[in-house]
Structure 1
């Protein structure tokens, strides 16, 4: 493109173009996405994709898959959301986010096609997520890594990533309540959406789900003649507790018998995510004729890191960031507190979006005797649950805003012992704001 016809001139203009788009269509369909990708030459058809969906655990499972493939010498692209500190994280190669110049170049390639479709389709022009997905497929189509791990944005069936025709493996991590207004209000309805990523004859790895969910997903897999591997049946794990600050567990399937492993990410649910990732990669290895090496598998899972998933950011006092942002994730966080911090006093500083059933989430946390709830707010493009209103309904919760004051109050007035623990949680948007602030403080 010559200088005069550039669609955007710099990084900020590229971001403004992306974020200035409509977030959701009134009725989600894949029609616009298919048109957009056709005009870009369908780069997604050249890629070897592992497609990952699930209510919780998508990001961590993607990270485990990435590390397992990297350890075996492959180049790996990843597509994840939301970002934690910087937008570019969403599109990464070998764990490194794309640089600003690359993003500008991609927007200059994809933007004019978006403008064409806007002129033809009016309000049905591409949404923000469709454009981000197109940028990602365009980028990986050009650099052609060995594998691309693609995380679904929302649901599965009508998600813009679901134009992938033949993934090597599809993974459904968990199915719980989230985005009810879009995906449905019952678990079978949500499961039907997630099962939308199952493709004819492509193997499916399914994590820990309820029998009613498994029934829906199995039916779709049978109909599509997709080989089906469910955690607890075709492959198994057994958590063996914390060892050297890592979650240790035993893994078994038809290739590995009682393999002792450890996850670099904390929480019993991370054992399930690591297990699903290993099964997915072992199916990739079968399809692609390479051998998984025990030593490399152990190393990869132990060194996996993922921002804001029980991520330790300070040791004195002990401060963690966790992206728990819906009921199922709060149940996992409660389990984690009971198993790992039962003897500690825990200050939970929470910023929650208003559409996430905050009262149910808080009521559950309030039952833990060693947890003190501090409710706060943060900058978000969606409405944040009002800390004051929530605190009036829960006598054991305190409202302190903004969050920096909440943190300062906990550290200077409430911490009583050096074994006390502080956990920021409630929304990935919230913890990404907290993480960015502390990272800046540490860098100065």
Structure 2
């Protein structure tokens, strides 16, 4: 048993040694022992490759503006572990985390002797969240973000009101498969019988797989660009303005997150709200939707840190994320010189990620940081063919120098691993204050 917050987090992290353990048997065992807290919750399930966190944030803010008490389960955390389990944007208290770990430890010890073995870190946190939202700090509804894939993900024991798949990209291919069809099959595993599913997936092969799974489960399927859509109106200084279209409904909205991809994520949240109102009688009014979208904020995703000099953080940690970042750069800063600093993990698909920066970067700074599996600047450089590349081991001194050199016609974008971005943000604030 643990007595302090530090001991609780250390015990949770100790489960990392077990790695990723796909399958639901351990979750089902823990839920049975805890008297099925997951069955006491109203939930929404969000899967996909990129955009899950932003979609969760848009949705949570809308529901919160309507007066709901909204739980969220997300990963990874950005600044503090507690963020993963939150209510109305407020992370779980340290004392509650200790309480939950002490509930899970005996179950974990029992399971060590079972045929499935002990639970992984993610399974532990998922089980904790179910118990927390149903017994310790009850909520009206919980939005669950899929951790990895969907079909065998620990969150996939819920029976949600609505399921959503943001998009399909080639990430975690060692677990999910190399083709879009294989990845879509895993993502579509969250589709439940008679539960409506919404998606912004683009690839025809992936759409076909998801449609077939929806038909098999007799689940209504709504596809972005077909059953609902958006028209971009304009780039705002800090955000986007767009029109949402669904059937006869057409309405203009503003968001404070940057990029066309955020318009798609917002439209996914809007379609979910439409279904909650029409199918489940939620009565979420237009004002709550407007305010929820406008004030939604998700750290580390095209987040403006400074206007003078102009600095953005973006956790583009896979090829699809980089493509989205590049589109945003071309859309908003065609008249500026763009400097990009990047650090990435070795297990990512680095060639399409890094080569993608070549057409938009006036200068590319490759660096590293203190984290397992991180690539060195030299390793990153093997995937780059342009000349204006700088390799820096010490990202802090490199960043401090760059900040002082960013001119009025330039923008500095710091990107790559979310773990890197989470270390950069507080450091940036400390440098900019001085």
Q: TM-score, normalised by structure 2?
A: 0.95
Pairing 1:52–2:42 present: no
**1:430 is the counterpart of 2:434:** no
Distance 1:26 1:310 in 2: 29
The alpha-carbon deviation at position 443 of structure 1 amounts to 8.9
What does 1:54-93 correspond to in 2, within 5 Å? 54-93=48-87
Per-residue deviation, 1:103: 0.5
User: Is the Cα–Cα contact under 8 Å of residues 23 and 129 in structure 1 kept in the other structure?
Assistant: no
> Which residue number in structure 2 is paired with residue 372 of structure 1?
363
Is 2:215 the counterpart of 1:222? yes
Cα deviation digits, residues 398-437 of structure 1 (max 9, x gap): 111221122123224x43x223211111111110111233
Structure 2: how far apart are the matches of 1:308 and 1:182? 26
Contact map agreement 1:348 1:374 (CA 8 A) in 2: yes
The partner residue of 1:308 within 300, 320, 328 is 300
Q: Which runs of 5+ in 1 are unaligned?
A: 1-6
Q: Is the 8 A contact 2:63 2:284 kept in 1?
A: no
Q: Partner residue of 2:162?
A: 169
RMSD in angstroms over aligned alpha carbons? Answer: 1.7
Per the alignment, do residues 211 and 24 of structure 1 end up closer, same or farther by CA in structure 2, a change over 3 Å counting?
farther
User: How many angstroms apart in 1 are the aligned matches of 2:19 and 2:9?
Assistant: 20
Q: 1:179 aligns with which of 172, 181, 184?
A: 172
User: 3-state DSSP class of the match of 1:306?
Assistant: coil
Partners of 2:258 and 2:213 in 1: CA distance: 33
The farther-off stretch of 81-90 and 385-394 is 385-394
- Structure 1 residues 391, 206: CA separation in 2 closer, same or farther (over 3 Å shift)? same
Deviation, structure 1 residue 27: 5.7
Pair 1:92–1:377, CA change in 2 (3 A): same
Partner of 2:149: 155
Structure 2 gap segments, 5+ residues each: none
Give per-residue Cα distances to partners, 1:166-199, cap 9 Å, x unaligned: 2000000000100000010111000000000000
Give 1:244 shift.
Answer: 4.3
TM-aligned CA deviation for residue 292 of structure 1: 3.1
3-state SS in 2 of match to 1:161: coil
Q: Does 1:280 align with 2:279?
A: no
> Which deviates further from its counterpart, 19-28 or 350-359?
19-28
- Give how far 1:257 is off: 2.2
Q: How does 1:116-155 map to 2 (within 5 A)?
A: 116-121=110-115, 124-142=117-135, 143-155=137-149
User: Residue 346 of structure 1 aligns with which residue?
Assistant: 338
1:237 is matched with which residue: 230, 239, 249? 230
- The TM-score normalised by the length of structure 1 is 0.93
